[in-house]
Amino acid sequence: MNTVPLKTTVLVIGGGPGGSYASTVLTREGIDVVLLEAAKHPREHVGESMLPSLRHFLQFIDLEETWIAHGFKHKPGACFRFAQDDVDYFTDFSTLGPGRTTWNVVRSETDEMLLRHAASQGVQVFEETRVESLEFEGSGDPTSSRPISATWTRKSGESGSIAFDWLVDASGRGGLMANKYLKNRIQREALRNVAVYGYWNEVAIFDEGGPRSNAPLFECLADKLGWAWLIPLHNGKTSIGVVMHQDNSILKKKASGLSLEEHYREQLQLAPGIMGLIGSKGTYIPASCKSVGDSSYHAPSYAGNHFRLVGDAAAFIDPLFSSGFHMALMGGLSAASTILASINGEVSETEAQAWHTTKIGVAQTRFLMVVLIAYRQMQSNPAMFGALKAESYGHAYDLFRPVYQGEDDMAPELSKEDDLSGLMDFTRKFFPLVTDDHAPKAADHIVDLHELNLLLDSEGDDARDVMRRLKLSVLRKDTSAEDADTINGYAIRLEKGRLGLTKVD
């Protein structure tokens, strides 16, 4: 059995997508990296729907060909049914160009693939090794002090500590830094959801044989209290789940007295499109039903003195638009880039921290706005989009598409029509962006200020703050064909051997 070393340059906690990606990128830049993962891969994980941006991330670490050869189910786009009496909205990924569609995946396989690739690139990977605690220098105040070592235990019973210069926390929803030390995680009450899901055999394919064949279906429940997903997988199974607010889930289960599996199957009856694909041949796989927390949350910052938070350890947005995997890889790349920029003196450590926090915050806000508008669409009567002129909806969908595809964070040259300000401008059709002590100037907002307060929770909410400071250059999407988001005058230099932050004039 390999022994965890006593010292490393970068310690990564967590071997999910974000941790594996950050580790791989750093190691390929010549940095000594140790990754400690509590579980043993392969391990089950939900979240099988990918975005087209995945290809960019895979290409950068030379993993795309292996990924394609694995045989994951082709995903040409996605179908959204926001209301039972409304039309379906389809996002066609093929419009991005040849080779820009993506996949539905089995997460146990993708996550292990990323972890094994990290090890093949030189990352020292230790599975079944849990980080129990961190030690900080000086006063030990984690909000200002630098983490310098971690204590760990292994399933074998072995224990020890490892010193490090830098920390990447990719420990998932458990969030070691956020929950145990920073204690700064903020839950979004309006999106405090739970998901219950299971796997099925012999489910029909959406638009089988057509241009949309294999596309996932995301469907609003008939009672407008949640939504369901259907994602076909390459192993012949189909992932089918239901998402709703935790309070509604509790009330429904209490009123019915049903078991989790019975509750799951009862709620699926509220998704007639999905039930139609299950049909008479679809068979539920016994004992596959599980429930997981899907609550959305954020924090005031995602970086500190020589540490970065990545993926679910940083923040989480409702999974309606399949943003989780994208956010994990994007966060891993940002963490690696800002650490390298700080090490190489391209920016100060304080500037690097601010860049990472803003990068995560802007990406989260883009998805949050799309999710909130979709939720209002599902819950409104008449349909929210139906209340707009046709040309307004067309503009809205043009703005939504690059966000959902993940293009804004990785390939701005393919999404020139979209920027954060443009998305926020359209959002004003639904949310009056005014201070609490001023009445909205227009009377045609579908969602009033009180509803906005309920959706965005508090005065200090990060999305509210972003919306109210749209004119700050730090949040403008100034891009060139080579660089992604420009933040504080810097953008990621996406070049192997020279990864970091580069000044943008």
The single residue listed with the structure tokens 């009056």 is 432
For 129, phi then psi, to 5°, come to -130, 110
Question: Is the per-residue pLDDT at 418 higher than 70?
Answer: no
- Tell whether 395 and 481 lie within a shared domain: yes
Q: CA 3, CA 22: separation in Å to the nearest integer?
A: 22
In a domain, residue 317? The reply is: no
**pLDDT single digits (tens) 254-285:** 999 999 999 999 999 999 999 999 999 999 99
The single residue listed with the structure tokens 């796997």 is 199
Q: Which domain holds residue 272?
A: 193-293
When pLDDT is averaged across residues 245-249 and rounded to a whole number, the result is: 92
Whole-number Cα distances in Å, 287 to 262, 284, 457: 12, 9, 37
Domain boundary residue, one of 262, 278, 293: 293
- Whether 124 and 33 have beta carbons less than 8 Å apart is answered as yes
**pLDDT single digits (tens) 70-86:** 999 999 988 888 888 77
Please count the structural domains in the chain. Answer: 2
Whole-number Cα distances in Å, 116 to 242, 446, 447: 32, 49, 47
**pLDDT single digits (tens) 469-478:** 332 333 333 3
Q: What is the model's pLDDT at position 321?
A: 84
Q: Is the peptide bond before 272 cis (omega within 30 degrees of 0)?
A: no
More confident: 172 or 484: 172
CATH assignment at residue 277: 3.30.9.100
Q: What is the model's pLDDT at position 157?
A: 93
Domain boundary residue, one of 274, 293, 312: 293
**pLDDT single digits (tens) 89-125:** 788 888 777 777 899 999 999 999 999 999 999 999 9
- Tell whether 378 and 264 lie within a shared domain: no
**pLDDT single digits (tens) 133-164:** 999 997 667 878 999 999 999 999 999 999 99
Q: What is the model's pLDDT at position 470?
A: 31
Q: H-type helices in 87-235, by residue range?
A: 107-120
The single residue listed with the structure tokens 């990068």 is 359
Q: What is the model's pLDDT at position 479?
A: 28
Q: CA 330, CA 18: separation in Å to the nearest integer?
A: 8
In a domain, residue 300? The reply is: no
- Tell whether 393 and 261 lie within a shared domain: no
In a domain, residue 42? The reply is: no
Strands 89-92 and 102-104: unpaired
Question: Is the per-residue pLDDT at 3 higher than 80?
Answer: yes
In a domain, residue 240? The reply is: yes
Token readout for 354 is 């601010």
Q: CA 429, CA 415: separation in Å to the nearest integer?
A: 22
Domain boundary residue, one of 293, 311, 342: 293
Q: CA 493, CA 327: separation in Å to the nearest integer?
A: 19
Q: What is the model's pLDDT at position 205?
A: 95
Token readout for 369 is 């706005």
Q: CA 108, CA 43: separation in Å to the nearest integer?
A: 5
When pLDDT is averaged across residues 21-36 and rounded to a whole number, the result is: 98
In a domain, residue 218? The reply is: yes
**pLDDT single digits (tens) 298-351:** 898 999 999 999 999 999 988 888 889 999 999 999 999 999 999 999 999 999
In a domain, residue 447? The reply is: yes
Can you give the pTM of this predicted structure?
A: 0.85
When pLDDT is averaged across residues 219-243 and rounded to a whole number, the result is: 96
- Tell whether 365 and 461 lie within a shared domain: yes
Residue 370 confidence class, pLDDT cut points 50, 70, 90:
confident
In a domain, residue 425? The reply is: yes
In a domain, residue 216? The reply is: yes
CA torsion through residues 463, 173, 217, 409, sign: positive
Question: Is the per-residue pLDDT at 249 higher than 90?
Answer: yes
